Each structure stands twice: as structure tokens, then as C-alpha cells.
Structure 1
Amino acid sequence: MTTKDKKNSVRLIQKWVSDHPFAFVLGAATGLGLTLGILYLAKRRKFAFNKTASQMLPNLNMERYVFDIPGKDNNKQVIVEGSGECYSVKLNGKFLGTMWQDQENGMQWQTHDKDLQHYLADIAAAFSGAFSRNGYPAILKGTYPQIIQTEWKTDETLEVIISEETEMEVFTTFLEDEAPNLVDFEEHLDLIIKKAGNPYFKIIGIN
């Protein structure tokens, strides 16, 4: 396009704007609105991702273990939490009391709470195996509340079911980085991460 053609184009645009001032203002406002809308949505998506990602971070300052013990009719869920030498214990969501290891009595588990005494032997037995490969689900479920269920498929394969609202890719990224740091065993283990009823899964190898 020559300089003369460019000048003619500018004159035509200026004439159209002067003849249609309302349409020009409306078009400019619409364009600005779309631009701001796109920027807002992009910011919201980034904020949502960052918020989701931060929720995936495990709380490594608090020891937390989730496992089952046999009950009269069915298994009972136990949650053991502690940040020192004393651990609080919940059974099916109900607080039972606290327990600790007695250094003067062969490091056996002790409690002063009557409700906990009835289950102490079973809880201590399950808790003592939490750092083995077979006990690894207790650490996983205790560290990541997004995990709602685990199931052994083979001796070396553990299926991990996460909640429906959990972002799969974000969760597996964090788990892939952190899971090896939570193990205290040398045997190989494959984690199959998936959501209930969803065929998509991801495998994370440990050791």
C-alpha cells in the first residue's frame, strides 16, 4: 500500500467515525469489555490453579496416619496424629484419647484413657507397621486427605482412589515429588492413582 493509499484509508476511517460516533463508541467499549473479560478469566484460572496446588501440599509438620483395625461387625477407621512423643487417637471420627511409648517399659504403648485401652493393642500393632511397605497406605492417607481409599492389587501394586473434586494432574505431580520422601522401606512399589468409576489412571513408581 502506497503512502497516498494509506492517507486515503485514514480519511475514510475518520469520515466513518464522524458520521457514526455512537457505533464507534459502542464498538470500542465492546472491545475493551472483551479484553478485560479475557484478562479476568485468565487471572481467575491462574488463581484457581494456584489455590488448588496449594491445597495439595502435605502437612509435614504433623504426623498423621490413617488405617483400619478389625471390629466386631466391620473394620474401624483409626486416625493417629502427633507432633511429638504423644499421639491423639480417633476411632471412626470419635476421639478416644492419647497414647505414648513408655521408654522405661520397653517402648510399649501406654494410655490413661479407658476408651482407648480397649483398642490399644490392635492400634499399636497396626501403627508399628506403618513404616513398612504394607503399612504405607496409612502414611499416604494420613498425609493426603484427597485420598479416600487404597486397595492392594498385588504385593507391589497399590491402587489409590482420590476424591472426585481433586485435580488429577496437579495431585499426581505433587505426589510424584513427595511420595518417595515418605517411604522407609527399600522394596519396589507401584501406585495406581485414579478416581472412582473413572478409567483414567497414572502410575507412580517408588524405589
Structure 2
Amino acid sequence: MKYLHNKGWNSKAVFLGAIGAFTLISIYFFKKRNQKCTGRSKSASPATDDHSIIQDRLNAERYVFTLPDEAGDIQAIVEAGGECYAVHLNGEYAGSIWQEENSGLQWSTHEAKLEPYLWEISAKLSEAFSRKGFPSLLMGAYPEILSTNWKTSETLEVILNAETDIEVFGTFLKDEVLNLVRFEEHLDLMVKKENDAYFIIVTIN
């Protein structure tokens, strides 16, 4: 009887030990995942001139696009931070997303508020370097851009805030846009300031 009693306790100890080990492993991987998410946004390094500022923006991985929602469109800003991406919805931090290496690089999140938009966000990110998704990449690189609008299949209207010097901005854009993206299709950017009829054309390909 004593042997059976000890055997029962040994079985319980093994069972509890297995649960404890599983819990520790889960905590380890959860912490490891969180450590890869280095912050809510990727801070730019100090810049001393306009060219450095533009270059910092081009080096930063940042996307701006609109998500459809029953209550109205939502502006999403997605910024790289470590191996995760910080997501802001309508100006408020909503959480992080990442790609699971063991699940075919599917996007994941721990945030319930992001789950309804996860598929749409992943679709937007997957097309960011195509002509169709180029506006999200363009707006992410240049905060001066308020909005974009496809005028034709080969013409994208780019609206700048009223304080922007359009000539200076246009010069930088012409010099840097090919470092931002390359695709075979022809595209004209019709750049203009908000509430101003004057515009300049920046041609890609």
C-alpha cells in the first residue's frame, strides 16, 4: 500500500512538473516575442539637413492606408519595430502584428482590437511595393502628403499640406522616389498643395 501511495504521489509530481515546464516554456516564448517588438514606432535618427531627413524616412519602414469599417473608414499607420510592426488606428496605438515563421509567414497579433482588421492589413502590406499599393508606401515615407487619389490608371494625384514648399518637395521626390520603389508600369505623380490648382508632375518610368 505504501508503494502504491508513493507511486500515486510520483505520478502527480510528474504531471505537475510537466504543467510547470509547459508554463515556463510558454512564458519564455511570449517574452521572446515581446522582446522582438522594440516599441510602438521606429524612431528616426537625428537629421541635420533636409536630405538627411528624407533619407531617414526612406530607410524607415512605414505604411499609411485606409481600412474599411462599418462606422467609417479608418486610417491605419503601420511602422516596423524590430521583428514586429506597430499599428495605429485613427491616431491611436492599437497593438503589434508580426509574421509567424512556422505558419507560412501568416500575420498574427495578441490584440483583440486588431484581429478584425488583420486580413485587410496583411493584404495592404503585401501589395505596398506594387503600383496598386504604392500610395501607402508614398504616404508612409512623406508625412507632408495628406491624401492620394487615382485620377487615371497611370496618374496618381498627391495632395500636400498647405505649409509644404511644393518646389522643394518636388525636387526631393524626383531624386528619391526611385529609391523607394521600382516597378515596370508607367506612373505620373500629379503633386499639388491642398486647395491649390498649381501642380507639378513627377514621372516614374
Scaled by the length of structure 1, the TM-score of the pair is: 0.71
Judge conservation of contact 2:157–2:190 (CA < 8 Å) in 1: yes
- In structure 2, distance between residues paired with 1:52 and 1:129: 29
- In structure 2, distance between residues paired with 1:180 and 1:191: 13
Q: Pick from 58, 66, 88 the counterpart of residue 68 of structure 1.
A: 66
Q: Which amino acid aligns with 1:204?
A: V
Instruction: Please give the secondary structure, in 1, of the residue aligned with 2:113.
Output: helix
* Residue equivalent to 2:194: 196
Tell me the alpha carbon deviations over residues 93-145 of structure 1, each in whole angstroms, 9 at most, x when there is no partner.
11111111111111110111122112111111122111110100001100000
- In structure 1, distance between residues paired with 2:49 and 2:162: 17
Displacement of 1:181: 1.4
* Aligned length in residues: 158
Q: Percent of counterpart pairs with the same letter?
A: 53
The RMSD of aligned alpha carbons is 1.8
- In structure 2, distance between residues paired with 1:84 and 1:184: 25
Q: Which amino acid aligns with 1:91?
A: L
* Residue equivalent to 1:87: 85
- In structure 2, distance between residues paired with 1:53 and 1:181: 13
> Where does structure 2 lack aligned partners over 5 or more consecutive residues?
1-47
Structure possessing the higher radius of gyration over alpha carbons: 1
Judge conservation of contact 1:66–1:80 (CA < 8 Å) in 2: yes
Closer, same or farther in 2 for the Cα pair 1:107/1:51, shift >3 Å? closer
Judge conservation of contact 2:148–2:159 (CA < 8 Å) in 1: yes
* Residue equivalent to 1:122: 120
Q: Which amino acid aligns with 2:142?
A: Y
Displacement of 1:184: 3.8
Closer, same or farther in 2 for the Cα pair 1:55/1:165, shift >3 Å? farther
Displacement of 1:156: 0.9
Displacement of 1:185: 2.1
Displacement of 1:183: 1.2
Scaled by the length of structure 2, the TM-score of the pair is: 0.72
Instruction: Please give the secondary structure, in 2, of the residue aligned with 1:176.
Output: helix
Closer, same or farther in 2 for the Cα pair 1:178/1:128, shift >3 Å? same
* Residue equivalent to 1:180: 178
Judge conservation of contact 1:64–1:142 (CA < 8 Å) in 2: yes
> Where does structure 1 lack aligned partners over 5 or more consecutive residues?
1-49
Tell me the alpha carbon deviations over residues 162-191 of structure 1, each in whole angstroms, 9 at most, x when there is no partner.
111111111000000111111142211100
Q: Which amino acid aligns with 1:78?
A: A
Structure 1 residues 44-63: aligned runs within 5 Å: 56-63=54-61
Displacement of 1:73: 3.1
* Residue equivalent to 2:140: 142
Closer, same or farther in 2 for the Cα pair 1:108/1:72, shift >3 Å? same
- In structure 1, distance between residues paired with 2:51 and 2:98: 34
Judge conservation of contact 1:58–1:144 (CA < 8 Å) in 2: no
